[in-house]
Amino acid sequence: MSSQYDLEIQTALEDPTSRPHLVMGGATFASIDDDVAGVSEGFLKKTSLAWYAMFGASISVLAMLGAVVVYLISTGVGIWGNQSPVFWGWPIVNFVFWVGIAHAGTLISAILFLLKQDWRTSINRFAEAMTIFAVCCAGLFPAIHVGRIWVVYWLFPIPNQMEMWPNFRSPLLWDVFAVSTYATVSLLFWYMGLIPDLATFRDRATSKIRQGAYAFFSLGWTGSSRHWHRYEKAYLILAGLATPLVLSVHTVVSFDFAVSQLPGWHTTIFPPYFVAGAIFSGFAMVLTLMIPVRAIFGLQHIVTLRHLEVVSKVILATGSMVGYAYAMEFFVAWYSGNPYEQFAFTNRAFGPYAWAYWIMVSCNVISPQLFWFKKLRQSVPALFVISIFVNIGMWFERFVITVTSLSRDFLPGSWAYFQPTPFDALTLIGSFGLFFTLFLLFIRFLPIIAISEIKGILHKQESHH
């Protein structure tokens, strides 16, 4: 997967006083259009068998998910392994897993924007799309887990014939507000960023249908400087709003656990620990997706090795935070002198779920530590493999937190070992079908890189010469 640009960056990195350019290969404004819009337009010129094969596979898995959901709704949540005392099984694990992944996009768009990290421009669009699709997958799980999905509107404060309202002191209700606000604001942020690029697509379009569709969604954008002025202000405001929002979402998700009184859940470290974990998993997913896409569509000069390396550093930092949180949980359990808390953690590491715990530690704590080595940070295959390990590890983290605490609570008489059913696995696999179907449609029809922002970077880069 290496290319001429990868070599270019490696040589550039030898000199610590100069940083490699964020856009390489002598790009011009026009060539950026050709490269990015070329991804989507390329599908018109040449039938991409690879795309059709991947899309066919994804949509089949999505259809399977649809069948499982129909079976679930018509039969009941009993088709899953959720059983006393573990009533929060895989559905909540999958929910937290996907919500966590959804954090990278808005973090890259908002926080790195406020911090003026120009390198974000090459990957932000991509990461934002990933965020929205991951939120779709995440939202699916609580919705189908409620059992009677036809009354799912009870989650929202809608006046109803029962004259009842939701309980606003429940973290589960906070979650409804946090996740739906996050989904909405992420979508707005993403769409706003897309408007100028959709206009570029419109103006390059050769067919009437394509031109009409992009014209509709670009809302008549002309690149007016008076518009750009308000647009940039709006983007800054949205970034400012999304920054606390992105931190709040996983905080509220962690409240689902931390506000309850179960040993292993009832800890104040959860909000920061969950947020760090979310960023960790989100950046890992960015790598997992970006590495093949940049190679397949020849975008190595826009998403350079420097970008991948920066992402790997973020993974190293957040992975270390997660490792610290794991250790701190044990310390606090010991230091609290609370026998239930102590048991919960001893049981996690050495009880019946020890296998899951040590998979989690190996993937989340040990594997990112390899990024201390520059050679591995600059090796595309190593980045890809470690990112997969992190994805696996973060799923297991949620599994360990959810299942070990529930399966052995205060009453030894109710202890039981959690047994997932095949439908648990099919729902999880199916959610990947949903994710990849949306993702492949995104690659095919939308600008996968923020064209106008890249041009801005290129202009800045040129004026520094």
Partner 1 sequence: MEQQEAKALGLLAEYETPQALMAAAEKVRDGGYKRWDTHTPFPVHGIDDAMGIQPTILPWIVLGAGATGTLTALLLQWYTNGVDYPFLISGKPLFSWVPAFPVTFELTVLFAGITTLLGMLALNRLPRLHNPLFDVKRFARATQDRFFLALDATDPLFEDSSARALLEGSGATAVEDVPDVPTNENIPSWMWQVAIVLVFATFVPLGLIAASYNSTSTTPPFHIVGDMDWQESYRYGEEVPFFDNGQAMRGALPGTVAVGELEEDDAFYRGMDDMGNWLAVAPVEVSKSVLERGRERYNIYCLPCHGESGNGKGIVHERALALDTSGWLIPRDLTMDSIVTQPDGQIYDTITNGFNYDAETGTGNMAPYAAQIRPEDRWAIVLYVRALQRAANASIEDVPADKRSAL
Q: Could you list the residues that contact partner 1 (CB under 8 A)?
A: 28-30, 33, 148, 150, 157, 163-169, 171, 173-174, 177-178, 181, 184-185, 188-189, 191-192, 196, 199-200, 202-204, 215-216, 219-234, 237-238, 241-242, 244-245, 248, 252, 255, 451-453, 455-456, 459
Instruction: Report residue 379 as tokens.
Output: 């090796």
R_g of the chain computed on alpha carbons: 23
Q: Which residues are within 8 A (CB) of 126 and not within 5 positions of it... i.e. 6 or more apart?
A: 286, 289, 290, 293, 448, 449
* Residue closer to partner 1, measured from CB, 258 or 394: 258
Q: How far is the CB of 383 from partner 1 (least distance, A)?
A: 30
Instruction: Report residue 416 as tokens.
Output: 């039981």
Could you identify the residue written with the tokens 């679930």? 72
* Residue closer to partner 1, measured from CB, 219 or 327: 219
Q: How far is the CB of 107 from partner 1 (least distance, A)?
A: 15
SS3 86: strand
CB-based contact 325:26 (threshold 8 Å): no
Q: How far is the CB of 76 from partner 1 (least distance, A)?
A: 12
Q: How far is the CB of 186 from partner 1 (least distance, A)?
A: 9
Instruction: Report residue 343 as tokens.
Output: 């048991």
Q: Which residues are within 8 A (CB) of 334 and not within 5 positions of it... i.e. 6 or more apart?
A: 342
* Residue closer to partner 1, measured from CB, 265 or 357: 265
CB-based contact 448:442 (threshold 8 Å): yes
Report the candidate in 197, 74, 60 with the shortest Cα–Cα distance to residue 125: 197
Report d(CA 442, CA 228) in Å as an integer.
25
* Residue closer to partner 1, measured from CB, 175 or 309: 175
Q: How far is the CB of 327 from partner 1 (least distance, A)?
A: 28
Q: How far is the CB of 450 from partner 1 (least distance, A)?
A: 10
SS3 266: coil
CB-based contact 405:111 (threshold 8 Å): no
Q: How far is the CB of 206 from partner 1 (least distance, A)?
A: 11
* Residue closer to partner 1, measured from CB, 218 or 404: 218
For the chain, the first-to-last Cα distance in angstroms comes to 31
Report d(CA 177, CA 404) in Å as an integer.
28
